[in-house]
Amino acid sequence: MAVSISSISEELGEIDGQIADIFRALSNGFQKFEKIKDASRQSRQLEDLTGKMRECKRLIKEFDREVKELEHTVDPDTSKILNEKKQSMVKELNSYVALKKQYATNIQSKRVDLFGGPAEGFEEDNGLQASSMTNQQLMDNGHQMMDETDQAIERSKKVVHETINVGTETAAALKAQTEQMSRIVNELDSIHFSIKKASQLVKEIGRQVATDRCIMALLFLIVVGVISIVIVKLVHPNNKDIRDIPGLAPPAPSRRLLWISE
């Protein structure tokens, strides 16, 4: 039983629909291309189809990114279905790319055949013109062609040097950015480690504070109990139900003075 892509993810279903529309447009476009006889119209049609293939390639990449994001949330069977769907899209797109290359080659060969005749005539005219020139004219013409060739070579060298300089500057900039990114990553790792250690330290301090509070509360209760017993003993010294506190002397008995009568 086929599983609908839309039932797995709405975004994947929307991308799948767009890709299917482009594939239908490509199929109809190539069928229309075969009916066109004019080379210029064929070129325009091929450019339009190439733009559709670029858009299809972008959508397939977006489909692949969505599939990778869903790999950890779907079951293996669903992941397999999505990967097979992506591979079928890539295979179909590659078939259209190969067809486009074939038609482009045919158009190029037609252009070569079209301009082949006049080129040969142009060479014959050059040969006739050269045969009518004097030796001095031929030498001057040759020197002029050599100068133009040297100038073209110098321009090519200049372009090459500029390209090399741009490439060198780009490589240096990329290297500097790579080193900066490495430093940022190292600093982030250090910050993460510091935050982790700080969290552990806060937990330890919290446990110690809780323990100290318990001890203080227990000592407070003991002191309150001792003070209570002392007060009761002072108020009721003859009460035998209250035990004496170890280390605390019992209250002294009241003394009476005896008067000796003469």
User: Which one, of 98, 67, 71, lies nearest residue 85 by Cα?
Assistant: 67
Asked whether the predicted pLDDT for residue 98 surpasses 50, the reply is yes
Q: pTM of this prediction?
A: 0.42
Phi, psi of 75 (to 5 degrees): -75, 165
Asked whether the predicted pLDDT for residue 1 surpasses 70, the reply is no
- pLDDT number for residue 256: 52
Give the residue with greater pLDDT, 182 vs 31: 31
| DSSP-based three-state secondary structure for 252 | coil
What percent of the chain is modeled with pLDDT above 70?
76
pLDDT band at 254 (very low <50, low <70, confident <90, very high): low
What are the CA-CA distances from residue 112 to residues 36, 106, 109, 184, 231 (Å)? 19, 10, 5, 56, 122
Mean pLDDT computed over every residue of the chain? 78
pLDDT band at 111 (very low <50, low <70, confident <90, very high): low
Cβ neighbour number for residue 58 with a 10 Å cutoff: 10
Give the residue with greater pLDDT, 229 vs 247: 229
- Overall average pLDDT of the 22-32 stretch: 91
Give the residue with greater pLDDT, 52 vs 1: 52
CA 87 – CA 90 distance, rounded (Å): 5
User: Which one, of 32, 28, 52, lies nearest residue 41 by Cα?
Assistant: 32
Give the residue with greater pLDDT, 115 vs 216: 216
* One-letter amino acid for residue 93 of the chain: L
Lowest mean pLDDT segment, chosen from 42-56, 63-77, 105-119, 193-207: 105-119
Asked whether the predicted pLDDT for residue 205 surpasses 80, the reply is yes
Lowest mean pLDDT segment, chosen from 132-136, 195-199, 248-252: 248-252
pLDDT band at 75 (very low <50, low <70, confident <90, very high): confident
Q: What is the DSSP string of 212-235?
A: HHHHHHHHHHHHHHHHHHHHHHHH
DSSP conformational letter for 36: -
- pLDDT number for residue 59: 92
Of 59-63, 112-116, 178-182, 206-210, give the range with the top mean pLDDT: 59-63
CA 105 – CA 178 distance, rounded (Å): 42
Cβ neighbour number for residue 14 with a 10 Å cutoff: 15
Asked whether the predicted pLDDT for residue 240 surpasses 70, the reply is no
Asked whether the predicted pLDDT for residue 58 surpasses 90, the reply is yes
User: Which one, of 20, 22, 8, lies nearest residue 66 by Cα?
Assistant: 8
Long-range contacts of range 3-11, CB-CB < 8 Å, 24 or more positions apart?
3/78, 3/81, 5/82, 5/85, 8/70, 8/74, 8/78, 8/81, 8/82, 9/66, 9/70, 11/66
Asked whether the predicted pLDDT for residue 104 surpasses 50, the reply is yes
- Overall average pLDDT of the 60-84 stretch: 87
